């Protein structure tokens, strides 16, 4: 069984430590017992989802990185508009 399953809308199913259940987790809430006992504190599952969202937002888009700027004369030769 996978340790987590990504769903649409930032929802993740996170497997319990015992491996017998999955918790529904978002960056704002979780169905785990730790969250139920401490409603005002983010559980470790929520922190993991938040970290994954933060890392995803700083990743460059595919093809967005250009290591060098071409001079105008080089752009004409390369066919870049």
> Is 42 part of any domain?
yes
> Is 53 part of any domain?
yes
> Is 30 part of any domain?
yes
Q: What is the pLDDT of residues 54-77, one digit of tens each?
A: 776 555 555 555 566 666 666 666
Domain that holds residue 27: 4-60
The total number of structural domains that make up the chain? 1
Decide: pTM greater than 0.75: no
> Is 69 part of any domain?
no
In this model, does residue 1 exceed pLDDT 90? no
Angle value at C-alpha 24, between 37 and 50, nearest 5 degrees: 85
Kindly state the average pLDDT of the residues 6-12.
86
> Is 67 part of any domain?
no
What's the CA gap between 19 and 28, in Å, rounded?
A: 23
Kindly state the average pLDDT of the residues 21-42.
92
> Is 81 part of any domain?
no
In this model, does residue 39 exceed pLDDT 60? yes
Kindly state the average pLDDT of the residues 9-34.
91
> Is 39 part of any domain?
yes
SS3 content of the chain, % helix, strand, coil (to 5): 35, 15, 50
Provide the 3-class DSSP secondary structure of residue 10.
Answer: helix
């Amino acid at each position: 069984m996978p340790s987590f399953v990504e769903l649409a809308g930032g929802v993740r199913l996170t497997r319990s430590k015992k491996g017998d259940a999955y918790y529904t987790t978002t960056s704002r809430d979780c169905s785990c017992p730790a969250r139920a006992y401490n409603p005002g504190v983010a559980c470790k599952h929520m922190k993991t989802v938040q970290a994954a969202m933060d890392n995803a937002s700083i990743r460059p888009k595919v093809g967005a990185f250009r290591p060098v700027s071409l001079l105008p004369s080089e752009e004409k030769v390369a066919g870049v508009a």
